[in-house]
Amino acid sequence: MQSVPSQAIRPLSLNASLSSSRLPFFSFSLPIFHKFKINPSIYNKSQKVPLFLTLRCCSSGSVTAKPSSEDRRNRDVQEPDEKVVALRRLFSKPGIGIDAYIIPSQDAHQSEFIAECYMRRAYISGFTGSAGTAVVTKDKAALWTDGRYFLQAEKQLSSSWILMRAGSLGVPTTSEWLNDVLSPGGRVGIDPFLFSHDAAKELKEAISKKNLELVYLYDLNLVDEIWKESRPKPPNNPVRVHDMKYAGLDVASKLSSLRAELVGTGASAIVISMLDEVAWLLNLRGSDGPHSPVMYAYLIVEVDGAKLFVDNSKVTKEVMDHLKNASVELRPYDSILSEIRRLAAQGAQLWLDTSSVNAAIAETYKSALDKYRSNHGSKGKIKNKRYDESNGLSEGPSGVYMRSPISLAKALKNPAELEGMQNCHLRDAAALAQFWCWLEEEIHNNVELTEVDVADKLLEFRAKKEGFLDTSFDTISGSGANGAIIHYRAEIGSCSVVDPNKLFLLDSGAQYIDGTTDITRTVHFGEPTAREKECFTRVLKGHIALDQAVFPENTPGFVLDAFARSSLWKIGLDYRHGTGHGVGAALNVHEGPQSISYRYGNTTPLQKGMIVSNEPGYYEDHAFGIRIEARLVDISLISDDEIEWLNNYHSQVWEKVSPLVEGSARQWLWNNTRVIHKQ
């Protein structure tokens, strides 16, 4: 997020001879669905450099988490929440009979950015952050969110809600809390379309320890029942074909490679529910939700055919012809469960990625298979024996439960996708140069600008660039203390005026027809304090350290995370988010399976062709937030090698971006890319 051109988001190089600030191309060949293994030999402990070091606490006192009761405003006077009260009335209705209801952030496809009609957690709680889970019991309401949103949640939740700072010491998980507040025999309701199969299974097992029952409410969503007529309509925007010059590979080739994977695993079909996977595989794009060019759809690919489940009103003649050429049939979006039942009734061996496929689909398949095996098990017609989900031998089909092969194939960008990402980053860089030139001039002329004014003006500059479609996430325009709210969103009426005497953080991105950007800068329009400069410089040192890292093939991202944090750790500082995420090519701005994060559970190897962001930061609550800008650098803290890196980077920015700007913006770019000398 830090860099204006392509520096911060670039394909990873495993070749140490490549310049650290280049955006290299990599060779790409079929098969596109790669298998990989992690080589355990590269994780062996070195005899010279121990893998685990003695830890010391940088804090002078003990570390404790605030009780949840201290995380709400106006705790002594709880105001009744009409929506929560209405939701509770439904608990005792016939066919429901529950004691608690869980409202997650997701839609039926586990999307990060969802259509407004599916923003159920935001509607019921008032908290608008992208991550969080609300739980309502008959007498309590609680919301869990992670460190990116603690401050935002404090502001947005009413006194009726308990804020649970997920991951903090002493804060229970949702299942632990339910086990504590509900009596044995209690019933916990969920909409099974909104939970992945794995998440629902984990929840079911966790609450069963206290004899609580998980209840799947297939036929209605309780939040929708109280939302009623005011609920926005589902999107019906037209789907479009993603041109081959940007996609780089035709649909027939992608489907052929996928079918080879099906045969290799013994599956007869795969159910694809992740929207970016559907869009990538079929070379289609949409605009059904904010920030991501995808459409609401499911896809089932069989060995000898494929069916796309989508609202037919979104399908233009061009898209229809495109799908016919790839032998893809259309089906109504809401008919997915009936198709799952039909396939199971034929004994189909379905491949389900249970980390993403919703529990409604997985449980429907499992129930239909049980019926199929009951009807056919004694007839001796089933020759294929496989292990079922619980590793017990099962006669007949039982499903293939593995990660979707499309996830990795999509992450390994082909040359056309890499070229599109480079080109859109350069156009985006030109827009940013024009924007920063404008903003500095306005500030120096004492023009009063709100955080919303600034975000709107940036959008105006971007919208003029060729191929611009949308922002890739809500722009984070934060002055002073608002910059410390990691995913802050400025809103009219409550946002701050940009203060020239405080740090200003701008985290933004765009969707273009040929690629996706994600860029962060932090600036100060006056004289930053020594503290601000030191914190900023240590964030920069982490960025450089990660960029310059040389590592063995098959290294997972969590191994590299400490490179970005090391300089902050030396003075007892850290940040509450991962360091880098995958970025889609004209797709989701946050893309897996790879990441660079302290979360060591993700063992996906980093490979050539992947695009990963490099975004360490630092956030001082109620004071400021930091990611990258040169004026804030404390030269005394950086090495000669780091100065060389910075100068090389600025040289490339000038070389690549200056031809795309003119006038005052070109002069601004020149002023901000000059050579830095050690003092």
- Whole-angstrom Cα Rg for the chain: 26
Q: Are 656 and 5 in contact (CB under 8 A)?
A: yes
User: For 306-311, what is the mean pLDDT?
Assistant: 98
Amino acid at 643: I
Residue % of the chain over a pLDDT of 70: 85
Place 78 in a pLDDT band, splitting at 50, 70 and 90. low
Amino acid at 529: T
pLDDT in tens, 630-673: 768 999 999 999 999 999 999 999 999 999 999 999 999 999 99
Confidence at residue 639, expressed as pLDDT on a 0 to 100 scale: 95
User: For 288-299, what is the mean pLDDT?
Assistant: 97
Place 65 in a pLDDT band, splitting at 50, 70 and 90. very low
**Domains 82-230 and 415-673 agree in fold:** no
pLDDT in tens, 618-631: 899 889 898 765 76
**Cα atoms in the Cβ-side hemisphere of radius 13 Å centred on 96:** 20
Long-range contacts of 114-118 (CB under 8 A, 24+ apart): 114/289, 115/232, 115/234, 115/235, 115/288, 115/289, 115/290, 115/296, 116/232, 117/231, 117/232, 117/233, 117/234, 117/235
> Measuring CA to CA, how many Å separate 131 from each of 149, 210, 606?
8, 27, 26
Confidence at residue 148, expressed as pLDDT on a 0 to 100 scale: 77
pLDDT in tens, 85-102: 999 999 999 999 999 999
Q: Is the dihedral of CA 27, 28, 30, 31 positive or negative?
A: positive
d(CA 470, CA 589): 12
pLDDT in tens, 101-129: 999 999 999 999 999 999 999 999 999 98
Average pLDDT, the chain: 87
- CATH for 240-375+399-404? 3.40.350.10
d(CA 557, CA 658): 34
DSSP H helices, 196-297, are: 197-208, 222-227, 244-247, 251-265, 275-282
Least confident of 156-160, 181-185, 388-392, 436-440: 388-392
Confidence at residue 92, expressed as pLDDT on a 0 to 100 scale: 95
Of 550 and 79, the structure prediction assigns the larger pLDDT to 550
User: For 210-238, what is the mean pLDDT?
Assistant: 95
Q: Are 476 and 451 in contact (CB under 8 A)?
A: no
How many beta carbons lie within 10 A of that of residue 57, not counting itself? 9
Contacts of 591 (CB under 8 A, 6+ apart): 276, 410, 411, 581, 582, 583, 584
Confidence at residue 73, expressed as pLDDT on a 0 to 100 scale: 41
Residue % of the chain over a pLDDT of 90: 77
Regarding beta strands 350-352 and 400-401, do their DSSP bridges make them parallel or antiparallel, or are they unpaired? parallel
Contacts of 662 (CB under 8 A, 6+ apart): none
Provide DSSP, 37-87. Answer: ---GGGGSPPSSS-SS-----SSSS---PPPGGGGSSSTTSPPP-HHHHHH
Place 279 in a pLDDT band, splitting at 50, 70 and 90. very high
Confidence at residue 375, expressed as pLDDT on a 0 to 100 scale: 86
Place 398 in a pLDDT band, splitting at 50, 70 and 90. confident
User: For 8-17, what is the mean pLDDT?
Assistant: 32
Read off φ and ψ for residue 468, nearest 5 degrees. Answer: -70, 135
Does the pLDDT value for residue 36 go beyond 90? no
Does the pLDDT value for residue 30 go beyond 60? no
Confidence at residue 32, expressed as pLDDT on a 0 to 100 scale: 56
- Specify the CATH superfamily of domain 415-673: Creatinase/methionine aminopeptidase superfamily (3.90.230.10)
Does the pLDDT value for residue 568 go beyond 90? yes
Any idea which residue has 């004492």 for tokens? 446
Confidence at residue 392, expressed as pLDDT on a 0 to 100 scale: 41
**For the chain, domain boundaries:** 82-230, 240-375+399-404, 415-673
Place 79 in a pLDDT band, splitting at 50, 70 and 90. low
Q: Could you tell me which residues are beta bridge partners of residue 111?
A: none
Of 140 and 76, the structure prediction assigns the larger pLDDT to 140
User: For 562-591, what is the mean pLDDT?
Assistant: 95
Least confident of 5-9, 322-326, 436-440, 646-650: 5-9
Q: pTM for this one?
A: 0.85
Of 263 and 389, the structure prediction assigns the larger pLDDT to 263
Cα angle, residue 428 at apex, residues 424 and 434 outer, rounded to 5°: 155
The sheet that has 141-145: what strands, in order across it?
162-165, 141-145, 133-137, 100-103, 187-190, 213-216
Q: Could you tell me which residues are beta bridge partners of residue 293?
A: none
Confidence at residue 679, expressed as pLDDT on a 0 to 100 scale: 67
Q: Are 224 and 231 in contact (CB under 8 A)?
A: yes
User: For 406-430, what is the mean pLDDT?
Assistant: 98
Assign domain 82-230 to its CATH architecture. Answer: 3-Layer(aba) Sandwich (3.40)
Confidence at residue 424, expressed as pLDDT on a 0 to 100 scale: 98
User: For 124-145, what is the mean pLDDT?
Assistant: 95
pLDDT in tens, 486-516: 888 888 988 999 999 999 999 999 999 999 9
Q: Could you tell me which residues are beta bridge partners of residue 298?
A: 309
Work out the widest C-alpha separation in the chain, in whole angstroms: 85
d(CA 677, CA 679): 6
Confidence at residue 485, expressed as pLDDT on a 0 to 100 scale: 84
User: For 54-67, what is the mean pLDDT?
Assistant: 35
